Amino acid sequence: VRELREGAKGKKFWSVDVKNAKLLMPSADVFADLLKGVRVLDVVRRGKFIVFVLSNHMRLVIHLRMTGRVMWHVEKGRDKYVVVTFTFSDATKLYFSDVRKFGRVWLYTEKEFEKVTGIHRLGPEPMELSKSDFVEIFYKRKGMLKNLLLRQDLITGVGNIYADEIAFRTGLHPQARMEKLSKTQIGKLFESVQYCLGEGIRHCGVSVSDFVGTKGNLGQHQHYLQVYGRKGLPCYRCKTAIVKTVAAGRGTFYCHICQSIN
């Protein structure tokens, strides 16, 4: 979003070329009709959604899901995955592509877009949250740690990699019961959430499989991961082999010595 803001803020849409209308809401026609001549006032983020604030009181919203990419060029051999091309009046082009087609693009009014996209159901931004508010959300909440961290309606932004990293840093098993944690433990969990997300942001994301920046630049945080993807490798804290299992329906990595189920 930071890169998109730098590159797109102030620009005016000239044309839109839709290659795969199925990922666009409400329709390809709406994109073509309503974007021409419209200026990008700002690009912001809400949870995992990219939000273009437009001069016609509409919002262009993109969710990358698994393999979506927003880039200033078409990558070699990936032409067939381009979903939509935005051309600005200065002739620069912005491409949204998606191999698996899970991503979504919406164009709605400022009144409608939150409900249509589901943004209105998102919890608070964890990096802008106080510890006491965080504790209030999770203290005595029934469920497993990882399931609850992944729930975007409680706090937004935590995905599979960061959930594992957060659990490891807190010394808690991903399947620890949240309702059994003390306020002190929840407070420590909060510190881990902010630390892990903060480091991920500082290192410009995790480029372990699909993520790349808008210019093809790779993130660096994959070099700093403590447990995710480290199955069979020695725990950085105790040297015991990291275990991989399935929790919350997702591949889950943890150290069975350092991370307690209580």
Partner DNA sequence: AGTCGCCTGGTA
Partner DNA sequence: TACCAGGCGACT
Binding residues for DNA (CB under 7 A): 22, 47-48, 63, 65-66, 99-102, 118, 142-144, 147, 150, 152, 159-161, 205-211, 219, 222, 246-251
Cross-strand pairs, 98:
68
| In the complex, minimum distance from the CB of residue 47 to DNA, in angstroms, rounded to a whole number | 7
Measured from the CB atom, the residue of 63 and 230 that comes closer to DNA is 63
| In the complex, minimum distance from the CB of residue 147 to DNA, in angstroms, rounded to a whole number | 4
Measured from the CB atom, the residue of 51 and 150 that comes closer to DNA is 150
Q: Is 244 exposed, middle or buried (0-12, 13-18, 19+ CB in 10 A)?
A: middle
| In the complex, minimum distance from the CB of residue 34 to DNA, in angstroms, rounded to a whole number | 24
User: Two tokens at 15?
Assistant: 């044309």
| In the complex, minimum distance from the CB of residue 74 to DNA, in angstroms, rounded to a whole number | 15
Q: Is the peptide bond before 26 cis (omega within 30 degrees of 0)?
A: yes
Measured from the CB atom, the residue of 52 and 211 that comes closer to DNA is 211
* Integer CA distances (angstroms), 153 to 103, 121, 262, in order: 19, 6, 24
Separation between Cα atoms, residue 124 and residue 137, nearest integer Å: 10
| In the complex, minimum distance from the CB of residue 15 to DNA, in angstroms, rounded to a whole number | 25
Q: What is the DSSP string of 99-163?
A: SS---EEEEEETTTHHHHHTGGG----GGG--HHHHHHHHTT--SBHHHHHH-TTTSSS--HHHH
Measured from the CB atom, the residue of 38 and 206 that comes closer to DNA is 206
Separation between Cα atoms, residue 32 and residue 164, nearest integer Å: 41
| In the complex, minimum distance from the CB of residue 40 to DNA, in angstroms, rounded to a whole number | 23
Measured from the CB atom, the residue of 13 and 254 that comes closer to DNA is 254
Measured from the CB atom, the residue of 12 and 250 that comes closer to DNA is 250
Give SS3 for 195. helix
DSSP classification of residue 75: P
